[in-house]
Amino acid sequence: MSDYLLICTTTETRAQAEQIARALVDARLAACVQIEGPITSVYRWEGAVTQAAEWRLTAKTPAVLFDRAVELIRREHTYQVPEVIALPIVAGSRDYLAWLSAETDATAEGS
């Protein structure tokens, strides 16, 4: 696994996206969370094809914080099964990655 990740999730409202983003940054589980939207999602849920407007969050974090970030997202999220996926950051500027590590809790016990 990469040392750094982009963690993606979607929410039903901008307010919830902002709440989760702030909680991740406040808890030092992400250095930065970007919010995009509204986006249109088409998906199958409980046997039916559904379309909905959603807000996408992309959090940048050290990989060692993934499990803790997922716990926070699940706790704050209103969806029964929230999307939580991680994509590896395979390269980044040295300065940015150093900032990302410095602004998170990557060195905390239990990480």
Q: Tens of pLDDT along the chain (111 residues)?
A: 689 999 999 999 999 999 999 999 999 999 999 999 999 999 999 999 999 999 999 999 999 999 999 999 999 999 999 999 999 999 999 999 999 999 998 755 444
Q: How many CB atoms lie within 10 A of CB 64?
A: 19
8 Å CB contact between 7 and 47: no
Global pTM reads 0.91
Q: How many CB atoms lie within 10 A of CB 16?
A: 18
